[in-house]
Amino acid sequence: MSFFKEFKEFATKGNVIDLAVGVVIGAAFGKIVNALVENIIMPLVGILIGGFDFKGWMIKVGSAEVKYGIFIQVFIEFIVIAFAIFLVIKTINRFKKKEEAAPAAPAGPTTEEKLLMEIRDAIKQKNV
């Protein structure tokens, strides 16, 4: 099998395509959460703690600037993303449990049950 044919089979498998779609949707979701945190949550948090802007928080050490305010903002973005993913997974799992709880078609009797029914029928015939 040629190298390119192997690669084509690999690239067109369902899992690879699903992963690619997940990465693209994840990137778009990250942008949405970033906009939410940066433009709505952080200004509200800043107002609640006295009108501070987290992006401006930094310490100057010589000529270097340690911008820990940006780190705080990114950390809050992470918490929001993690919570949103938790809610999505929890919702998906709830639907899966409902699907699993659906009654399955009744299974036929097991070998043991069949043997017991034969013994019962033989005893009935003997007593008649």
Q: Quick check: 54 pLDDT over 80?
A: no
pLDDT, tens digit, 9 for 90 and up, residues 71-111 = 888 888 788 888 888 888 898 888 887 766 666 667 788 88
Domains in the chain: ranges and CATH: 3-127 (1.10.1200.120)
Q: How far are the Cα atoms of 30, 59, 70, 82, 99 from residue 75, in angstroms, in the given order?
A: 13, 18, 9, 11, 36
Q: Which of 44, 66, 62 is nearest to 53 (CA)?
A: 44
The overall pTM is greater than 0.75: no
Evaluate whether 120 touches 128 at the Cβ level (below 8 Å): no
With a cut of 70, say whether residue 124 has pLDDT above it: yes
Could you tell me where the beta strands, DSSP code E, fall in 10-63? 59-61
* pLDDT computed for residue 11 by the predictor: 74
Query: 59: which strand partners?
Result: 66
